[in-house]
Homo-oligomer: A and B are copies of this chain.
Amino acid sequence: MKHALSVTRQQNFAAWYQEVISEADLAEESGVRGCMVIRPWGYGIWERIQKLLDARIKEAGVDNCYFPLFIPLSFFEKEADHVDGFAKEMAVVTHHRLVKGPKGGLVPDPESKLEEPLIVRPTSETVIGAAMSRWVQSWRDLPLMVNQWANVVRWEMRTRMFLRTSEFLWQEGHTAHVDRDDAMRETLRALEMYRQMAEDDCAMPVIIGEKPENERFPGAVATYSIEAMMQDGKALQAGTSHYLGTGFAEAAGIKYQDKEGSQQFAHTTSWGMSTRMIGGVIMTHGDDDGMRCPPRIAPWQIVIVPMLRDDDGDAAVLDYCRDLWKELGALSAFGEPVRVLLDAKAAKASNKRWAWVKKGAPIIVEVGPRDVADGKAAVLRRDRLYKDDGKLNTSFTVRAEFVGQATAMLEEIQVALYAEAKARLDANIARDVIDLESHFKGDEAKFVGWVEVQWSRPSGAALDKIVEQLKALKLTMRNAPLDAAPADGVCFFTGDAAVERRLVGRTY
């Protein structure tokens, strides 16, 4: 069977991923190392994810703010002192002026050298911590909960669009609380919020759980993640939430006077989700014909393609399409007006149809002169593109009937995409593996899924040893699912009594 893309997931998953991004106009290389251009369709998906997540953030009483892009180098010195895993790959601003160079061209003006270099923020704990230390005086000021939508930069050697780029877009929530309980409640609220965002908005089932000690955010007391299974069986960490204890508050001086009048350090949290999520959506829902957008996050949920022939009949087709566009636009789905595009661009209808298939618009409707005469529309559901015989699964539907079904159809597509991904996740976590090496052996591109083991939660050197063993098999520990069954056996790695269950797998 022929597909719209030149390479299938089966043939080469990595090449397929790149082709979807290119053919669906999601993003492209920018010419700037490690930075991408997010194109309208990709950015539109991001705007939808933002909008839905932002509503959840606001509903939780978290206030959006904006903090500086630049962080003075000295802010990192504190951190470098007390944090072992200090990440040093960062963009450093050293000059503030360009001048014509001695050999022509432009060079940084040596006279504009900054006394203290500025770092382009890789994350904003330090600068937000400094602000919180000014804002928090009394227990009455707590909890203090802020969030920012921003770009951040982490200099990456190997980049991959959406999944790992030097610059990316994200939100970072930062909160301060009177005690551990309140901070932990917020840490888990944010985690649950990410689960809802992933599952309800993006139709991407995830496992929520705690990361092992070696994968904690540097300085965190506990790090939680949502982990999704991609169609190649690898895990994608798509959002994290950290309980930071009082360590960051002590470094930044976030202190409050409690009800009894004594000074206490606040307990802080931070949590983030980024444009990486779009990579997860592609690798969860994409097929050999391109992207498939879950309707809740599709920039356009229904696209109407008029079949124009550059003749007198075009006016009637366009009129009919405009009426249909109005009727559909008056509908609601998922509590919002349905987003309908009339694609009247000058191009062949079949080219436009395939462009929207590759972009993954949930419903594509074609209208030609015959449909106008019959009062019908040719409806294509992106999640059921082909019939069993390999032909396009186009349904010629009476217009009023289609309009009457459209909302339900969008809701069905959202459910169907989730169900498909959920079945894959559930079927591919092995719980009876005895030998990881033989389980994962063979072609690395082979779909294997994850393994759940029981373990004794070792730390320090004992943990390092396990991490090394797994690394040799190109495996990593994912999270310890919060809703897993209690441990009832021995540790897969140490033979000691197990205390929890943990996922192991290949990862992005």
Contacts and interface: CB of A to CB of B under 8 A. Distances in A.
Nearest to A134: B28
Contacts of A40: 63-65, 146
What 4 A-B pairs are tightest by C-beta distance, nearest first? A35-B68, A40-B63, A38-B66, A92-B95
Contacts of A127: 30-32
Given A80-B106, A92-B108, A108-B92, A36 B68 contact: yes
Given A91-B118, A98-B119, A151-B151, A30 B77 contact: no
Nearest to A101: B77
A492 interface: no
Nearest to A75: B31
Given A38-B65, A67-B30, A68-B32, A97 B89 contact: yes
Contact of A65 (B32, B43, B112, B150): B43
Interface string A441-475: 00000000000000000000000000000000000
A140 B347 contact: yes
A335 interface: no
Interface of A: 28, 30-32, 35-40, 43-44, 46-47, 63-74, 76-77, 80, 88-100, 105-106, 108-109, 112, 117-120, 127, 130-131, 134, 140, 146, 150-151, 153, 155, 167, 169, 345-347
A220 B96 CA distance: 25
Given A31-B72, A92-B112, A120-B120, 17 more contacts: A28-B134, A30-B127, A32-B72, A35-B69, A36-B68, A37-B131, A38-B67, A40-B65, A44-B63, A66-B169, A68-B167, A70-B167, A88-B98, A88-B99, A91-B118, A92-B95, A93-B120
B69 A151 contact: yes
Contact of A96 (B30, B91, B151): B91
Contacts of A150: 151
Contact of A153 (B44, B69, B119): B69
B37 A65 contact: yes
A428 B396 CA distance: 65
A31 B105 CA distance: 34
Contact of A97 (B73, B80, B88): B88
B68 A30 contact: yes
A198 to B, nearest CB: 21
A169 B68 CA distance: 10
A38 B150 CA distance: 13
A97 B167 contact: no
A35 B70 contact: yes
A385 to B, nearest CB: 25
A92 B94 contact: yes
Contacts of A100: 80
A39 B68 contact: no
Given A70-B167, A120-B120, A131-B37, A94 B65 contact: no
A305 B210 CA distance: 40
23 contacts: A32-B72, A32-B127, A37-B67, A37-B131, A38-B66, A39-B65, A43-B66, A68-B167, A69-B120, A69-B153, A70-B167, A88-B106, A89-B97, A91-B96, A91-B118, A92-B108, A92-B112, A93-B120, A94-B94, A94-B108, A95-B117, A140-B345, A150-B151
